[in-house]
Amino acid sequence: MGSKIAFAAFCSTLALAATAANADQVVLKSGDRITGKILSAAGGSLVVT
């Protein structure tokens, strides 16, 4: 049973890494992070989906 849990944890980690690899990340001065796809950045405005 322990190997099933380890395999599930490994698969979850792999899925999260794949998702993060395709996303842009913006780090604010406060340390907060916004993750998504940057659509545009113009005139002091940033559009993230």
Model pLDDT, residue 19: 55
Instruction: Detail the DSSP E strand segments found in 1-49.
Output: 24-27, 33-36, 38-42, 45-48
Model pLDDT, residue 38: 87
- Indicate yes or no: pTM above 0.75: no
Model pLDDT, residue 30: 94
The answer to whether 32 touches 48, Cβ cutoff 8 Å, is: no
Model pLDDT, residue 1: 57
Model pLDDT, residue 10: 76
Note the pLDDT tens digit of each residue in 8-44: 777 777 666 655 567 788 888 899 988 888 889 988 8
Please state the domain extents for the chain: 2-48
Q: Which residues contact 36 (CB under 8 A, 6 or more apart)?
A: 23, 24, 48, 49
